[in-house]
Structure 1
Amino acid sequence: MGKKNLAEHTVCENRKARHDYFIHEAYEAGIELFGTEVKSLRAGQANLKDSYGTIKNGELYLENFHISPYDHGNVFNRDPLRPKRLLMHKAEILKLFGKTREKGFTLVPLKVYFKRGRAKVELALVSGKHTYDKRRDLAEKAAKRDMERDLRERQKY
């Protein structure tokens, strides 16, 4: 096993989730996939837009996670939007189930990546932001960027 396999390789990221939601807790879960889906993921053909986590019959699923059909997969390709089962410990799933029943909490994937050759998803427990919260975050980000720029200017002299 080489060093390359131990590294984390990000396939896709949901940057909009960090903008639209307050992230309270993040969890790592494995994804149950078929062979052609794994090959498509390795090729970077996935999209997390509008995807979310649900809990049905004590199992965790990722809905609306689009994995493009593999080019050479022909009859082995699956439906790109089929619900993908996520692999977590039962106690963690039950804990998430209780928290998602609270008002305003939902499960949103932040990124999909390979870790030690296995497909993983970073799933976050989130609550929605209001427009004024988003504006405040953008203002703080701009102020921080301006301060760093001024600091670099001072160090030049």
Structure 2
Amino acid sequence: RGDEKENKDTVALIRIDKSAIRPDDGDTFFYKDFTIRILGIDAPEIIHKEHGIFENQPYGRKAAEMTIDILRKAKIVEYIPFQNDKYGRLLAHVFVNGKLLSVHLIKAGLAYETVSHYGDNGFPELAQRILKAAHESPSPPFEKPYKWRRRHQIRKWK
């Protein structure tokens, strides 16, 4: 189990009460009164009218369903917090039964890695696991979500 995590001396794992998890999309879920955004990946979009997304990206529903299914069926769900993003979501590495959820989603072809763009965020060993999964897995069968958002998201300016 320890081989799937950073050195326990340097990080604090926080256990999640699974009954307090609610679904959002493939790389985000609600927990109690806050939102957790999974670090290291970008999953396809689903409808989020409040964010200007009025249609599902191909594979978006599948990614969202897989994420919540994995979280609900897990024996143990834990996370390592990083920081809040500009949207107020908690960026965190999420573990399911001791394994990185991001790696599972990459291997399932339902997420792209984002480590090569954003860096390791202070978690070099976890970032390497994510990159390794991405290099060993086929490319997902959908457009990179950031490119899809550029064409489909309706932004409200000023």
Q: Do they superpose with TM above 0.5?
A: no
The higher-RCO structure (CA 8 Å, 6+ apart) is: 1
Give the TM-score of the pair, scaled to structure 2.
Answer: 0.27
Instruction: Decide which structure has greater strand share.
Output: 1
